[in-house]
């Protein structure tokens, strides 16, 4: 069935097939990526870091040791801020957050491109098919109209294929995008709380 559709759709079906393979590969890779990040999430450790960093007897070595093996995205940002607290905590956390966001956004541009390109390829295949059908009509006249209508029907296969790829891609794309936005919000929230708490503790310690 699939092979028959590819043959009927013409040569444009091949780049569409390549698009579908790329899309499915990226969706699988990003699903595994976010699945692993969900397993590495450690909210109790995030809150503990904030408590320890604002305590009167701040034990930085203890905090660093606790966060050493954590792969939680927020914890990694907080850890970098703590390690650079004597220089510029805010800039250090911002830089680490940007680095992590870049990893989270990997391949998102490709998915976004496929959402636009796949329907355009489908339309291109349909236009080429219709042109061929009208050429056939011009050469054979109306002797066999079924040849023309059959050619147009086959040409529409590429549009259907392109739209299908785009529709299938847009849902996971929006889901991954929402995960990135949520992660960015969390990193910013905890980083701000750490910085404010640390500065407050430093001011109170000088009094």
* Residue 35: pLDDT band with limits 50, 70, 90: very high
| Better-scored residue on pLDDT, 55 or 122 | 122
| Better-scored residue on pLDDT, 195 or 112 | 112
Q: How far is CA 199 from CA 44, 166, 173, in A?
A: 22, 49, 39
Residue 62 lies in a domain: yes
Nearest to 64 by CA among 51, 47, 72, 76: 76
How far apart (Å, rounded) are the C-alpha atoms in residues 35 and 116?
27
**What is the residue-wise DSSP string for 157-176?**
HHHHHHHHHHHHHHHHHHHH
Dmax over Cα atoms in the chain, in whole Å? 99
| Better-scored residue on pLDDT, 30 or 67 | 30
The model carries a pTM of: 0.83
**Among residues of the chain, what percentage have pLDDT more than 70?**
81
Residue 12 lies in a domain: no
The boundaries of the domain holding residue 199 are: 43-206
H-run or E-run covering 143: none
Is pLDDT at 81 greater than 70 in this prediction? Answer: yes
Helices (H), the chain: 2-9, 13-40, 43-53, 60-67, 73-83, 89-104, 108-140, 145-206
How far apart (Å, rounded) are the C-alpha atoms in residues 131 and 144?
17
Residue 15 lies in a domain: no
Residue 57 lies in a domain: yes
Residue 2 lies in a domain: no
How far apart (Å, rounded) are the C-alpha atoms in residues 54 and 73?
21
Long-range contacts of 200-206 (CB under 8 A, 24+ apart): 200/54, 201/53, 201/54, 201/55, 201/56, 201/58, 205/56
Can you give the pLDDT at residue 66?
80
The tally of domains found in the chain comes to 1
Is pLDDT at 188 greater than 80 in this prediction? Answer: yes
Residue 132 lies in a domain: yes
Can you give the pLDDT at residue 3?
63
Residue 31 lies in a domain: no
CB 77 within 8 A of CB 90: no
Residue 22 lies in a domain: no
Close Cβ partners of 131 (under 8 Å, ≥ 6 residues apart): none
Q: What is the mean pLDDT of residues 2-19?
A: 76
Is pLDDT at 13 greater than 80 in this prediction? Answer: yes
Tokens of 61: 């070595």
Q: Give the angle 75-80-83 at the CA atoms, nearest 5°.
A: 120
Residue at token pair 């203890």: 62
* Residue 145: pLDDT band with limits 50, 70, 90: low
């Amino acid at each position: 069935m699939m092979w028959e559709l590819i043959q009927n759709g013409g040569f444009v079906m091949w780049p569409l097939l390549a698009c579908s393979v790329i899309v499915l590969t990226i969706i699988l890779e990003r699903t595994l990526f976010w699945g692993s990040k969900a397993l590495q999430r450690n909210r109790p450790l995030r809150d503990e870091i904030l408590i320890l960093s604002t305590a009167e007897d701040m034990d930085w070595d203890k905090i660093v040791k606790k966060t050493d093996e954590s792969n939680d995205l927020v914890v990694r940002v907080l850890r970098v801020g703590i390690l650079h607290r004597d220089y510029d905590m805010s800039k250090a956390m911002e830089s680490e957050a940007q680095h992590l966001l870049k990893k989270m956004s990997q391949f998102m541009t490709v998915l976004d491109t496929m959402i636009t390109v796949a329907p355009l390829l489908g339309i291109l295949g349909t236009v080429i098919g219709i042109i061929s059908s009208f050429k056939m009509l011009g050469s054979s006249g109306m002797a066999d109209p079924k040849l023309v209508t059959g050619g147009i029907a086959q040409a529409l296969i590429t549009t259907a294929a392109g739209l299908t790829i785009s529709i299938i891609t847009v849902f996971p794309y929006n889901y991954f995008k929402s995960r990135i936005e949520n992660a960015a919000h969390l990193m910013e929230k905890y980083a701000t709380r750490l910085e404010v708490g640390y500065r407050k503790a430093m001011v109170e310690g000088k009094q």
